[in-house]
């Protein structure tokens, strides 16, 4: 009974937020108009600065490789071709890589957002006796690392090499995301949880029924971070699942192309023999980047509604 | 803590929370703390043959090497790292907040969504591509920046931006801004949604203008988020980066372009010297933790949100 | 009470999930496909001994950058059906070789084959490299690949042979068509403009370019010509720094000059020739002959400038700028002006009378090769695989492709290709899907095993001529040459210590000589561009020498080279 009442309370508060938001800009003064014009100009200029190089990359991706070497391509391809896309899309590993990437992103994001939120909830309880020690334990993880080899050895002992689990487990709890979530939860009024406690609700009920719904904007943010992190990571695929063809990811396939350009500490003598190591043309790199980023880029507009109309009762703590 | 007479009572009252915490403790120990046994390597002359358990111990000589090799080049490297780290920290924070606020004040919902989506796209480009773009902008011959400056008459002859040590840190700083501002603003945008709209309404009834509302309501509302992120990022000052400096750098700016990570690549992992890489890692961790501790302490003293 | 139970259940479940997933690797849980994918490197080879007709699958990791071919690659399948085995090659991605091998050595988990590079001694130390000489009696193609003296050199200080260098074996003779190595390159239009002068010294070389630039400051469309371009990005800065030993008439030892009478290593960075060379670069830079942004160029920009045909000359290895030249050739079809913009090599020395040594025979790099690891469950099978790859028929499949698809056979037994076949082979997607050179398994250079054809299309003389443009043919004819290599001195016999880079490339920074070598490179990276751009060359040079000598313990490095030179001589003479 108490739970239902609480949900209603939250919903009502959210509705109120929405109403007041829409009435917010009902009066416009001259100052507002000046502000808006300047704001619009600034944002459009900023957008253009960001957009131009991106368009340039798209143009490159549709340009003939040898022709592009000559430089000077702006936002329109000079010698149009779809060959770059065809070459990358023709890669036989692509369907597998796409499937693994999607799987790890979905499973990884859901599990890590949920688990991290739970930890954030625990650590946002003001009087929790181990609050400080547990926080410290996690905060420190952001700045210490055993290094490549020791981490590899531990994962190997856990049987995580050549396995899908290495994509999910190590990133399961993110200290960074936890802190972001906790900060947000700290901003919620204590009274909500307290009154629920009075009504006899347990921690899990409060977490699921009150805190989580109120945290949607930040949950959206954190899951976006997690999803993008999962989608973009390739180092784990390279390190732990290098020979397991069925566990390759899209970004790893992309990286295989990009790294022919940036291999560090090569030397002339070994490169001479590396007959298969011709540098992948800029145009193909561009096409591959477009293809591998497109799916994850589409995620954002979907999550955006949580930012635009935040479902929160808002509690600025002063 | 155990001297607290209420401690046991509290534990008893909070057994649910404690039970819930147990898996988290186990997790963090296994995945983050067990691998720290590798730190032993920093005090060894690590050989793969003997492994971490049986390599020869050499005391602090790896740390000594870090600071004395090549006429103390490492000091120079730390300076570069800190400088670029600070530029990233300060500019990154200011631009992300500014962008988030401007965007939240933008009136047209559709335009807002479009701009926001575009602004975060560069985050998905790999550094290889980003540095390629930066390079094209700054090139001496037909570079966009030189062309622009020439056309408005600001310069007479083209400048080789990447050959001048004085520009290098800022170039890296702005490249990072270009890549990450949109992305970093997401978190602030989310935080802005948590600000109570009643406050804005009350303010506008009182006749407060937009700027004054931003100053008196939005920014204070963002304060906890800003502070937490600042504290966390202060600890990352020594992680100023690797790829961008590595790829944009060249012999002429080497003195200002090398970061700790590049140094470690050149003398450590790239040359089969794992102990040196580990020693540099420990150095970075220790400095980060000191910085975090200090800034967290300061935040607490000022009565602000803190990490722990 | 109800909630309390819930919590317990929940925590237990959470623990259980964590536990289960973390052990998932063993049971192959999680992803349904990971069972077959999680090959454990050797699981696939275990079944190898089984039924006939079954194809063994090996795995290989090469600690160099490379391109992975498709897993349904056609030639790979043809070879697999013929020899009953195939191998999945994987390459270095986003890591340094030392890092990648370090992880594998620490973890003790390898692919069946490894090209370990500098990390091989550590593998041998750890006892994870298989001694191939214990098995090779049944595999003549392996045992007879190198001479006994060469195998001894490969063995070095060890008691067994743990690696098989892939490159450096020449069958019969080199066809000597292309010069894939370093030289001072110059565009044919520049030579033509000066009526094909004989260029011998650095001064003559730059003179020639200067005169051309004076006459033709721009291309037809008005973009300025660039006299000389120097790539000095990252490891590619050899284009700037290693010319001095060539200018002194020594072959490409990479890290030093070896005096042929005293057998002592000399630091080429500080010789009078080095100073003259950099002084010349300094002068040309000030004259504007050298591209003003040359020292900040990245590789892409360097290649893009080359591709427009504007760059008259540079010092580089041919494979390094090949992409740019290909672009010129393609564009020349539309733009006649570009026909004279491809390059020919010049054997430039510092003073008249010095005999240049730009072209050398393929060198046997005894420190680099393929190794069978102890993770391999079927060592005889792995030996047989290498052995079979050296079979004449398979060797031709690897290098030329499929008969009538990738090449045709003339009545005289000579292989040739149609333009379509050449275009196919130049296409990355076609190569990945169709061709399978197994490029990091041992292969022959020089001639193919039939004794009629060259080992691969690039070295086939007729193939080579057909690819030359009229401009290049005219240029070659002007110098009484028919191939690029004939523009240079014929390669002499390689000295027993050659090439010294196979030693210096593998140094680690935790040794004194390795550290000196790393520091030398560090100083040169920072100082050489400054020296070239300095207003006061002598001052900048002195400054450079100062930093150089105070930062790096050059003598320590040279001493270790001397020891290595002597060791190699001893090995060659059978003293060890």
DSSP C6-71: HHHHHHHHHHHHHHHHHTHHHHT-SSTTHHHH--TTTHHHHGGGSSTTPPEEEEEEESS---PPPT
pLDDT at C75: 95
Q: Residues of C262-275 as b/e, b for ≥16 C-beta within 10 angstroms?
A: eebbbbbbebebbb
As a whole number of angstroms, the distance between CA B222 and CA B219 comes to 5
- Complex-level ipTM: 0.83
pLDDT at A279: 55
Q: Report the residue of chain C nearest B243, measured CA to CA.
A: C94
HSE-CB for C116 with a 13 A CA cutoff: 29
Of C167, C236, C429, the CB nearest to A273: C167
Of A46, A184, A262, the CB nearest to B247: A262
What are the CA-CA distances from residue A182 to residues A205, B188, B224, C1 (Å)?
A: 18, 15, 11, 28
Per-position DSSP letters for B79-102, written without gaps between them: HHHHHHHHHHHHHHHHHHHHHHHH
Per the CB < 8 A criterion, the answer to whether C87 and C376 are in contact is: no
Instruction: Flag whether residue C38 sits within 8 Å of chain A, measured between CB atoms.
Output: yes
As a whole number of angstroms, the distance between CA B201 and CA B206 comes to 9
Chain-chain contact of A217 with B194 (C-beta, under 8 angstroms): yes
Chain B to chain C, count of Cβ pairs less than 8 Å apart?
124
* Residues of B in Cβ contact (< 8 Å) with A137: 25, 28
pLDDT above 90 covers a percentage of chain C that reads: 49
Chain-chain contact of C118 with B272 (C-beta, under 8 angstroms): yes
* Residues of A in Cβ contact (< 8 Å) with B118: 47, 50-51, 54
| Stretch C39-45: mean pLDDT | 36
pLDDT at C391: 94
pLDDT at C125: 85
Where does the pLDDT of residue C88 fall: very low under 50, low under 70, confident under 90, or very high at 90 and above? Answer: very high
Give per-residue pLDDT as tens, A248-259: 898 888 888 776
Q: Enumerate neighbours of A (3 or more CB pairs within 8 A).
A: B, C
As a whole number of angstroms, the distance between CA C485 and CA C491 comes to 9
Where does the pLDDT of residue B142 fall: very low under 50, low under 70, confident under 90, or very high at 90 and above? Answer: confident
Q: Enumerate neighbours of B (3 or more CB pairs within 8 A).
A: A, C
pLDDT at C201: 95
Q: Residues of B numbered 36-65 whose beta carbons fall under 8 angstroms of chain C's beta carbons: which are they?
A: 45, 47-49, 51-52
- Domain C182-358+470-572: CATH class, spelled out: alpha beta
Chain-chain contact of C296 with B250 (C-beta, under 8 angstroms): yes
Q: Residue C16: pLDDT above 50?
A: no
pLDDT at A266: 56
Mean pLDDT in chain A? Answer: 79
pLDDT at A275: 47
Q: Report the residue of chain B nearest C530, measured CA to CA.
A: B252
Chain-chain contact of B139 with C293 (C-beta, under 8 angstroms): yes
Per the CB < 8 A criterion, the answer to whether C453 and C447 are in contact is: yes
Detail the DSSP E strand segments found in C201-249: 226-229
Is residue C470 helix, strand or coil? helix
Closest by Cα among B92, B84, B107, B88 to B183: B92
* Residues of C in Cβ contact (< 8 Å) with A203: 3, 7
As a whole number of angstroms, the distance between CA C484 and CA C177 comes to 6
* Residues of C in Cβ contact (< 8 Å) with B22: 11, 15
| Stretch B9-36: mean pLDDT | 88
* Residues of A in Cβ contact (< 8 Å) with C433: 90, 92
Q: Residue A226: pLDDT above 80?
A: yes
Using alpha carbons only, give the angle C462, C464, C465 rounded to the nearest 5 degrees: 65
Q: Which of A33-42, A155-164, A208-217, B62-71 has the lowest mean pLDDT?
A: B62-71
| Stretch B95-115: mean pLDDT | 88
Where does the pLDDT of residue A21 fall: very low under 50, low under 70, confident under 90, or very high at 90 and above? Answer: very low
Looking up tokens 């037994």 gives C413
Per the CB < 8 A criterion, the answer to whether B271 and C518 are in contact is: yes
What are the CA-CA distances from residue C570 to residues C362, C566, C575 (Å)?
A: 21, 6, 5
What is the fold, at CATH topology level, of the domain defined by A2-25+93-308? MetI-like fold (1.10.3720)
Per the CB < 8 A criterion, the answer to whether C523 and C504 are in contact is: no
As a whole number of angstroms, the distance between CA C242 and CA C169 comes to 26
Chain-chain contact of A70 with C327 (C-beta, under 8 angstroms): yes
As a whole number of angstroms, the distance between CA A191 and CA A206 comes to 12
| Residue C372, strand partner residues | C113
Using alpha carbons only, give the angle B245, B248, B251 rounded to the nearest 5 degrees: 95
**Domain boundary assignment for chain C:** 54-168+365-399, 182-358+470-572
Q: Report the residue of chain A nearest C17, measured CA to CA.
A: A169
At a CB cut-off of 8 Å and minimum separation 6, what does C375 contact? C41, C42, C108, C109, C110, C111, C112, C128
Between strands C265-266 and C257-258, the pairing is antiparallel
Name the more confident of C421 and C334. C421
What crossing angle do the helices spanning A282-297 and A250-262 adopt, rounded to 10°? 150
pLDDT at A255: 83
Where does the pLDDT of residue A261 fall: very low under 50, low under 70, confident under 90, or very high at 90 and above? Answer: low
As a whole number of angstroms, the distance between CA C503 and CA C482 comes to 35
Instruction: Flag whether residue C511 sits within 8 Å of chain B, measured between CB atoms.
Output: no
Where does the pLDDT of residue A268 fall: very low under 50, low under 70, confident under 90, or very high at 90 and above? Answer: low
Instruction: Flag whether residue B51 sits within 8 Å of chain A, measured between CB atoms.
Output: no
Q: Residue C271: pLDDT above 70?
A: yes
| Stretch B21-38: mean pLDDT | 91
Q: Residue C535: pLDDT above 80?
A: yes
| Stretch B38-53: mean pLDDT | 79
pLDDT at C34: 35
- DSSP at C416: E
At a CB cut-off of 8 Å and minimum separation 6, what does A75 contact? A52, A55, A56, A58, A59
pLDDT at A317: 37
Per-position DSSP letters for chain B, written without gaps between them: -TT-TTHHHHHHHTHHHHHHHHHHHHHHIIIIIGGGGGGGGGGEE--TTTHHHHSEE-TTHHHHHHHHHHHHHHHHHHHHHHHHHHHHHHHHHHHHHHHHHHHHH-S-HHHHHHHHHHHTGGGGS-HHHHHHHHHHHH-TTT-HHHHHHHHTTS-SS---GGG-HHHHHHHHHHHHHHHHHHHHHHHHHHHHTTS-HHHHHHHHHTT--HHHHIIIIIHHHHHHHHHHHHHHHHTTTT---SHHHHHH--GGGHHHH--HHHHIIIIIGGGT-HHHHHHHHHHHHHHHHHHHHHHHHHHHHTT-----
Detail the DSSP E strand segments found in C262-330: 265-266, 311-317
HSE-CB for A291 with a 13 A CA cutoff: 28
Chain-chain contact of B16 with C293 (C-beta, under 8 angstroms): no
Q: Which of A292-306, B146-160, C170-184 has the lowest mean pLDDT?
A: A292-306
- 3-state SS, one letter per residue, for C265-279: EECCCCCHHHHHHHH
CA distance B55 to chain C (A): 12
* Residues of A in Cβ contact (< 8 Å) with C235: 264-268
- DSSP at C493: P
pLDDT above 70 covers a percentage of chain C that reads: 91
Q: Pseudo-torsion of CA C340, C346, C352, C358, nearest 10°?
A: 180
Q: Which of A200-204, A256-260, B208-212 has the lowest mean pLDDT?
A: A256-260
Of A168, A169, A270, the CB nearest to C64: A270
Token code pair at residue C158: 């060890």
CA distance A197 to chain C (A): 12
Of C4, C11, C552, the CB nearest to B23: C11
Q: Report the residue of chain B nearest A135, measured CA to CA.
A: B308
Is residue C372 helix, strand or coil? strand
Token code pair at residue A314: 């808002």
CA distance A240 to chain B (A): 15
Where does the pLDDT of residue C2 fall: very low under 50, low under 70, confident under 90, or very high at 90 and above? Answer: very low
Where does the pLDDT of residue B72 fall: very low under 50, low under 70, confident under 90, or very high at 90 and above? Answer: confident
Q: Residues of A264-273 as b/e, b for ≥16 C-beta within 10 angstroms?
A: bbbbbbbbbb
Q: Which of B294-308, C247-261, C469-483 has the lowest mean pLDDT?
A: B294-308
Chain-chain contact of C71 with A245 (C-beta, under 8 angstroms): yes
Give per-residue pLDDT as tens, C279-317: 999 999 999 999 999 998 888 888 888 988 999 999 999
Give per-residue pLDDT as tens, A99-139: 999 999 999 999 999 999 999 999 998 888 888 899 989 98
Of C3, C64, C499, the CB nearest to A277: C64
Is residue C450 helix, strand or coil? coil
Give per-residue pLDDT as tens, C425-468: 877 778 888 999 898 999 998 888 888 999 888 888 888 887 78
pLDDT at C80: 95
Where does the pLDDT of residue C122 fall: very low under 50, low under 70, confident under 90, or very high at 90 and above? Answer: confident
Chain-chain contact of C7 with B19 (C-beta, under 8 angstroms): yes
HSE-CB for A234 with a 13 A CA cutoff: 19
Q: Which of C6, C30, C99 to mutate to test the interface with A (most CBs of A within 10 A)?
A: C30
Closest by Cα among A274, A56, B162, A262 to C300: A262
Is residue C224 helix, strand or coil? strand
Per the CB < 8 A criterion, the answer to whether C378 and C49 are in contact is: yes
Token code pair at residue C165: 């260098």
Closest by Cα among C96, C85, C102, C67 to C439: C67
Where does the pLDDT of residue A271 fall: very low under 50, low under 70, confident under 90, or very high at 90 and above? Answer: low
Q: Report the residue of chain C nearest B132, measured CA to CA.
A: C300
Mean pLDDT in chain C? Answer: 85
pLDDT above 90 covers a percentage of chain B that reads: 17
* Domain architecture of chain B: domains with CATH: 60-301 (1.10.3720.10)
As a whole number of angstroms, the distance between CA B134 and CA A82 comes to 26
Task: Answer yes or no: CATH 3.40.190.10 is held by domain C54-168+365-399.
Answer: yes
Q: Residues of B numbered 85-124 whose beta carbons fall under 8 angstroms of chain A's beta carbons: which are they?
A: 99, 102-103, 105-107, 109, 112-113, 115-124
Q: Residue C528: pLDDT above 60?
A: yes
Instruction: Flag whether residue C214 sits within 8 Å of chain A, measured between CB atoms.
Output: no
Q: Residue C163: pLDDT above 80?
A: yes
């Amino acid at each position: 009974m108490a739970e239902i009442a609480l949900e209603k309370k939250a919903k009502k508060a959210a509705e109120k937020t929405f109403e007041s938001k829409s009435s917010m800009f009902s009066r416009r003064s001259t100052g507002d108009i000046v502000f808006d014009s300047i704001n619009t100009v600034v944002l459009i200029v900023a957008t253009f600065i960001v957009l131009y190089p991106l368009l340039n990359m798209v143009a490159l991706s549709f340009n003939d490789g040898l022709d592009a070497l000559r430089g000077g391509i702006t936002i329109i391809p000079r010698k149009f071709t779809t060959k770059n896309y065809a070459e990358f899309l023709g890669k036989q590993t692509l369907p597998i890589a796409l499937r693994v990437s999607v799987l790890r992103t979905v499973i990884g994001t859901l599990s890590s957002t949920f688990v991290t939120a739970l930890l954030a909830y625990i650590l946002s309880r003001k009087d929790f006796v181990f609050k400080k020690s547990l926080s410290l334990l996690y905060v420190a993880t952001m700045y210490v690392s055993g290094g490549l080899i020791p981490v590899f050895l531990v994962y190997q002992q856990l049987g995580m090499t050549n396995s899908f689990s290495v994509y999910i487990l190590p990133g399961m709890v993110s200290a960074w995301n936890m802190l972001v979530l906790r900060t947000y939860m700290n901003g919620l009024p204590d009274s909500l949880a307290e009154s629920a406690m009075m009504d006899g609700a347990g921690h899990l009920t409060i977490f699921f029924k009150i805190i989580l719904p109120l945290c949607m904007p930040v949950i959206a943010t954190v899951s976006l971070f997690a999803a993008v992190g999962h989608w973009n990571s390739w180092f784990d695929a390279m390190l732990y699942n290098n020979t397991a063809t069925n566990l390759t990811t899209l970004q790893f396939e992309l990286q295989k192309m990009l790294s022919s350009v940036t291999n560090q500490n090569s030397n002339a003598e070994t490169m001479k023999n590396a007959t298969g190591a011709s540098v992948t043309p800029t145009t193909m790199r561009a096409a591959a980047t477009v293809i591998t980023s497109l799916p994850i880029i589409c995620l954002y507009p979907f999550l955006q509604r949580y930012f635009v109309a935040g479902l929160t009762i808002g509690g600025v703590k002063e | 803590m155990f001297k607290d007479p209420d401690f046991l009572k509290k534990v008893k009252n909070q057994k649910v929370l404690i039970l819930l915490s147990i898996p988290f403790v186990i997790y963090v120990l296994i995945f983050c703390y067990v691998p720290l046994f590798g730190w032993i390597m920093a005090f060894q002359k690590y050989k793969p043959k003997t492994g971490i358990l049986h390599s020869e111990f050499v005391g602090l000589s790896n740390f000594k090497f870090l600071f004395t090799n090549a006429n103390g080049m490492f000091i120079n490297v730390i300076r570069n790292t800190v400088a670029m780290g600070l530029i990233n920290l300060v500019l990154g924070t200011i631009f992300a907040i500014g962008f988030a606020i401007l965007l939240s004040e933008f009136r047209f919902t559709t335009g807002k969504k479009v701009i926001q989506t575009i602004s975060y796209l560069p985050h998905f480009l790999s550094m290889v591509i980003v540095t390629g773009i930066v390079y094209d902008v700054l090139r001496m011959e037909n570079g966009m920046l030189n062309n622009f400056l020439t056309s408005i008459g600001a310069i007479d002859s083209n400048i080789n931006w990447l050959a001048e040590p004085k520009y290098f840190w800022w170039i890296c700083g702005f490249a990072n801004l270009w890549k990450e501002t949109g992305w970093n603003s997401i978190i602030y945008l989310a935080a802005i949604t948590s600000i109570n709209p009643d406050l804005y309404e009350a303010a506008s009834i009182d006749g407060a203008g937009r700027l004054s509302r931003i100053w008196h309501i939005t920014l204070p509302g963002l304060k906890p988020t800003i502070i937490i992120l600042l504290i966390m990022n202060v600890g990352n000052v020594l992680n100023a980066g690797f790829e961008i400096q590595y790829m944009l750098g060249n012999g002429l700016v080497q003195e200002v372009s090398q970061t700790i990570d590049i140094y470690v690549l050149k003398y450590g992992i790239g040359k089969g010297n794992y102990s040196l890489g580990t020693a540099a890692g420990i150095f970075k961790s220790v400095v980060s933790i000191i910085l975090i501790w200090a800034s967290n302490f300061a935040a607490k003293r000022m009565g602000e949100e803190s990490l722990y | 009470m109800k909630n309390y139970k819930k919590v317990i259940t929940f925590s237990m479940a959470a623990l259980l999930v964590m536990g289960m997933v973390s052990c998932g690797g063993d049971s192959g849980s999680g992803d349904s496909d990971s069972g077959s994918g999680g090959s454990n490197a050797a699981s696939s080879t275990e079944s190898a001994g089984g039924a006939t007709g079954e194809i063994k699958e090996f795995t290989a990791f090469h600690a160099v950058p490379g391109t992975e071919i498709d897993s349904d690659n056609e030639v790979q399948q043809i070879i697999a059906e013929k020899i009953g085995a195939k191998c999945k090659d994987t390459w270095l991605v986003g890591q340094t070789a030392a890092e990648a091998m370090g992880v594998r050595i620490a973890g003790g988990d390898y692919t069946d084959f490894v090209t370990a590079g500098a990390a091989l001694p550590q593998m041998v130390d750890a006892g994870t490299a298989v001694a191939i000489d214990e098995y090779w009696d049944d595999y003549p193609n392996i045992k007879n690949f190198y001479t006994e003296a060469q195998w001894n050199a490969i063995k070095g200080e060890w008691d067994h042979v743990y690696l098989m260098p892939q490159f450096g074996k020449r069958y019969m003779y080199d066809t000597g068509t292309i010069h894939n190595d370093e030289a001072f390159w110059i565009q044919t239009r520049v030579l033509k403009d000066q009526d094909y002068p004989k260029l011998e010294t650095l001064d003559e070389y730059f003179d020639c370019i200067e005169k051309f630039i004076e006459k033709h400051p721009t291309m037809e469309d008005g973009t300025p010509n660039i006299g000389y371009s120097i790539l000095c990005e990252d490891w590619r800065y050899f284009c700037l720094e290693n010319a001095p030993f060539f200018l002194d008439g020594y072959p490409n030892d990479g890290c030093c000059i070896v005096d042929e009478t005293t057998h002592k290593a000399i630091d080429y960075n500080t010789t009078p020739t080095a100073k003259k060379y950099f002084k010349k670069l300094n002068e040309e830079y000030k004259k504007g002959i050298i591209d003003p942004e040359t020292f900040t160029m990245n590789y892409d920009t360097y290649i893009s400038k080359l591709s427009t045909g504007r760059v008259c000359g540079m010092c580089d290895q041919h494979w390094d700028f090949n992409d740019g030249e290909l672009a010129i050739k393609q564009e020349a079809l539309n733009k006649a002006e570009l026909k004279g913009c491809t390059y020919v090599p010049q054997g430039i020395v510092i003073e008249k009378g010095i005999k240049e040594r730009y072209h050398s025979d393929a060198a046997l790099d005894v420190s680099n090769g393929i190794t069978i690891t102890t993770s391999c469950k079927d060592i005889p099978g792995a030996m047989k695989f290498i052995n079979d790859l050296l079979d004449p028929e398979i060797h031709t499949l690897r290098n030329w492709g499929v008969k009538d698809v990738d090449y045709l056979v003339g009545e005289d037994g000579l292989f040739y290709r149609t333009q379509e076949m050449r275009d196919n082979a130049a296409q990355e997607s076609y190569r990945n899907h169709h061709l399978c050179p197994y490029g990091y398994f041992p292969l022959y250079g020089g001639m193919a095993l039939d004794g009629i054809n060259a080992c691969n299309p690039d070295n086939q003389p007729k193939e080579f001529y057909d690819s030359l443009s009229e401009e290049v043919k005219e240029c070659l004819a002007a110098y009484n040459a028919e191939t690029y290599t004939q523009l240079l001195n014929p390669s002499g016999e390689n000295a027993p210590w050659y090439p010294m880079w196979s030693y210096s490339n593998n140094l680690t920074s935790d040794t004194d000589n390795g550290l000196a070598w790393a520091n030398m490179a560090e100083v040169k990276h920072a100082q050489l561009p400054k020296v070239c751009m300095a207003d006061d060359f002598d001052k900048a040079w002195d400054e450079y020498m100062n930093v150089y000598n105070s930062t790096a313990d050059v003598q320590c490095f040279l001493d270790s080279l001397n020891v290595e030179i002597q060791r190699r001589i001893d090995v060659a003479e059978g003293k060890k």
